[in-house]
Chain A
Amino acid sequence: DAKTTQPPSMDCAEGRAANLPCNHSTISGNEYVYWYRQIHSQGPQYIIHGLKNNETNEMASLIITEDRKSSTLILPHATLRDTAVYYCIVLMTTDSWGKLQFGAGTQVVVTP
């Protein structure tokens, strides 16, 4: 599975959009990009995933570049409850299915 690189931390003002980058330059054609977050001391929470096209759900938007070497998770209107560690995970569609590999993630702090 492709490795991912994320900034260790970032701050965001409440009410503003939070743009979380993820680099996955070795991604292959059948690998998906998944995003999870972990609010302090809780279990991780699935946010969104995509293969090629941009995706949007009630929580966030996922923008994947055309060459698929990087992606950005967008939290459109960050709230204090969005303070968490955000993990970008790349997974193949074969026997890696279900075997999430969590890196260090990005610690996002939303400030009033």
Chain B
Amino acid sequence: NAGVTQTPKFQVLKTGQSMTLQCAQDMNHEYMSWYRQDPGMGLRLIHYSVGAGITDQGEVPNGYNVSRSTTEDFPLRLLSAAPSQTSVYFCASSYSSGEAYNEQFFGPGTRLTVL
């Protein structure tokens, strides 16, 4: 199993540009989520999904959109990038059954810089 994969690894955007961060998992996990981590801080939840077609907002959803058309993929879209979105983005997945929700597998991260 490849686990949780994220692309790209690094990205530089100009203010106002749009882009999609890709996340895929091959573990048949129902639950997927996106976090951002700013320098020297812990991770904060952006959006999450408990299955295909179902998404919901986390702690810091503004400026980001998500959709979940398949179990495997959970892309994160930045419609109009802002410097405040400069961060490291992590995707995670887990089984959606009781305590397994919180035994999450994280991807390697995408390092995004917005100029």
A contact set with B: CB distance below 8 Å: 32, 34, 41-46, 49, 87, 89, 91, 93, 97-105
> How many angstroms between the C-alpha atoms of A27 and B104 in the bound complex?
22
CB distance from A21 to the nearest CB of B (A): 18
In the complex formed, the residue of B with least CB distance to A87 is B42
B contact set with A: CB distance below 8 Å: 4, 31, 33, 35, 41-45, 48, 50, 58-59, 90, 92, 94, 96, 98-99, 101-109
* List of A residues within 8 angstroms of B31 by Cβ: 98
> How many angstroms between the C-alpha atoms of A98 and B103 in the bound complex?
8
Main secondary structure of the interface of A (DSSP, over half): loop
> How many angstroms between the C-alpha atoms of A44 and B107 in the bound complex?
8
In the complex formed, the residue of A with least CB distance to B108 is A43
Asked if B43 and A97 sit within 8 Å, CB to CB, the answer is no
Asked if A99 and B103 sit within 8 Å, CB to CB, the answer is no
Asked if A46 and B58 sit within 8 Å, CB to CB, the answer is no
Q: Which of A41, A46, A93, A101 contacts B103, CB < 8 Å?
A: A46
Asked if B108 and A42 sit within 8 Å, CB to CB, the answer is yes
Asked if A98 and B101 sit within 8 Å, CB to CB, the answer is yes
Q: Which of B99, B105, B108, B109 contacts A49, CB < 8 Å?
A: B99
Asked if A43 and B106 sit within 8 Å, CB to CB, the answer is yes
Asked if B106 and A97 sit within 8 Å, CB to CB, the answer is no
In the complex formed, the residue of B with least CB distance to A89 is B102
> How many angstroms between the C-alpha atoms of A100 and B31 in the bound complex?
13
Asked if B43 and A44 sit within 8 Å, CB to CB, the answer is yes
Q: Which of B42, B45, B109 contacts A105, CB < 8 Å?
A: B42
